[in-house]
């Protein structure tokens, strides 16, 4: 007779807290609260690690002129250039092109240039100055440039007292002695124009906790935010999957989002800006000409953006009957080169 011994797993508890950055800002940075600095000191005294999560690499997200408000953008892409350090430079996170940081504004020629919206490099710099006796390691794609740096990262992560990471840190790791996890700006996880942004933020938060604390019995998860009363952030801190699932489904049903209604994304790209714009106009004209009783809604369209010297158009269409939609556009649209179709 085969006997199977049942060994119960030790459950770990998660304690969620929220810190309001409008009321609690440390003298060393507007993005680091006094509560965070105190908690780091207390955790280090217990010989435990601290994980700081911020899904923004670089030193700062943008460079702006304080006089004329000129925002520095990539000439190849329609995005702002991020400020990086070691060495100091501007970098586009889409095409990876690098540029020297100007001494004066290219538009008004004044010298009051300001870096805004903090990134992992600047967080690392600030904390190394404040906790100068602790080993601090930054884990992002800038630090992981080659295979040797990835191998070094594993040993560095094991011995680090404070780890600062982007989304890269949420997968493939299982470390012990994590005393607390800080999400430095939780609202950045929600700053996506997508109906499932909340779901992705919740999944990312759970993945972050699971990778780093599988063997610990208790973990403190602290969310820093400038908008603590945001209902989505409140829902995340409740840590109740059933409620999150139920309320999310209810919202999608009320606003006719998947899985209650079909959604399709048409992405069109070409080197010709005029051709890209003509495509979006062609789509809208076709939709208006369809003799269909089913209601549709264009959630995003007509606008184009540049990425790595290519012009992109993204059109999101919500329709009750996706098959009817595909039937109507099959001959005139789906055969276009440079077109990709994504279903939600």
Highest mean pLDDT among 142-151, 195-204, 333-342: 195-204
Domains plus CATH for the chain? 13-58+119-252 (3.40.50.300), 59-118 (no CATH), 262-343 (3.30.70.600)
Residue located via tokens 């209650």: 260
**pLDDT for 131:** 93
**Cα 248 from chain centroid?**
20
**pLDDT for 12:** 47
Q: Per residue, what are the HEC states of 223-264?
A: EEECCCCCHHHHHHHHCCHHHHHHHHHHHHHHCCCCCCCEEE
**300-313, pLDDT tens digit by residue?**
554 566 777 777 77
| Helix residue ranges per DSSP H, the chain | 34-45, 120-130, 147-159, 197-212, 231-238, 241-254, 273-289, 322-329
Average predicted confidence (pLDDT) for the chain = 76
**pLDDT for 341:** 63
Side-chain-side CA neighbours of residue 80 (13 Å): 17
| Average pLDDT of the residues in 120-125 | 88
Is the CB of residue 118 less than 8 Å from the CB of residue 56? yes
Report the percent of the chain where pLDDT is more than 70.
73
Q: Which of 74-78, 111-115, 260-264, 340-344 has the lowest mean pLDDT?
A: 340-344
Q: What single-letter DSSP state applies at residue 27?
A: T
pLDDT band at residue 42, thresholds of 50, 70 and 90? very high
The answer for residues whose C-beta is within 8 angstroms of residue 77's C-beta and 6 or more apart is: 92, 94, 95, 305, 306, 307, 308
Confidence (pTM): 0.74
With 0-12 / 13-18 / 19 or more C-beta atoms within 10 angstroms meaning exposed / middle / buried, residue 262 is buried
pLDDT band at residue 10, thresholds of 50, 70 and 90? very low
Side-chain-side CA neighbours of residue 141 (13 Å): 8
**pLDDT for 178:** 81
Q: Which of 67-71, 296-300, 314-318 has the lowest mean pLDDT?
A: 296-300
Tokens of 21: 């950055």
Helix axis angle for 197-212 and 241-254, nearest 10°, is 160
Indicate the helix (H) or strand (E) that contains 61. strand 60-65
């Amino acid at each position: 007779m085969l006997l199977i011994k049942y060994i119960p797993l030790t459950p770990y508890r998660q304690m969620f807290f929220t810190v309001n950055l409008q009321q609690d800002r440390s003298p060393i940075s507007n993005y680091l609260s006094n509560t965070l600095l105190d908690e780091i000191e207390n955790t280090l005294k217990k010989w435990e690690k601290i994980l700081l999560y911020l899904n923004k690499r670089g030193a700062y997200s943008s460079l702006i002129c304080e006089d004329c408000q000129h925002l520095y953008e990539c000439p190849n892409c329609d995005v702002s250039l991020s400020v990086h350090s070691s060495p100091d430079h501007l970098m586009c996170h889409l095409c990876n092109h690098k540029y020297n940081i100007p001494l004066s504004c290219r538009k008004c020629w004044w010298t009051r240039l300001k870096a805004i919206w903090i990134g992992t490099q600047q967080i690392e710099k600030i904390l190394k100055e404040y906790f100068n006796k602790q080993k601090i390691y930054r884990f992002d794609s800038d630090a992981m440039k080659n295979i040797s740096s990835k191998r070094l990262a594993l040993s560095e992560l094991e011995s680090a007292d404070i780890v600062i990471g982007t989304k890269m840190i949420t997968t493939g790791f299982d470390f012990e002695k994590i005393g607390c996890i800080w999400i430095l700006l939780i609202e950045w996880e929600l700053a996506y124009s997508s109906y499932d942004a909340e779901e992705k933020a919740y999944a990312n938060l759970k993945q972050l906790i699971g990778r780093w604390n599988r063997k610990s019995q208790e973990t403190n998860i602290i969310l820093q935010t400038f908008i603590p009363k945001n209902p989505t952030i409140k829902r995340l801190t409740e840590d109740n999957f059933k409620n999150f699932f139920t309320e999310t489904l209810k919202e999608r049903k009320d606003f006719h989002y998947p899985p209650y209604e079909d959604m399709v994304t048409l992405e069109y790209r070409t080197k010709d800006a005029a051709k890209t714009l003509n495509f979006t106009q062609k789509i809208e004209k076709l939709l208006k000409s369809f003799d269909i009783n089913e209601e549709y809604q264009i959630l995003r369209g007509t606008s184009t953006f540049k990425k790595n010297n290519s012009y992109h158009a993204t059109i999101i269409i919500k329709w009750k009957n996706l098959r009817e939609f595909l039937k109507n556009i099959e001959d005139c649209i789906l055969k276009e080169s440079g077109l990709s179709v994504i279903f939600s």
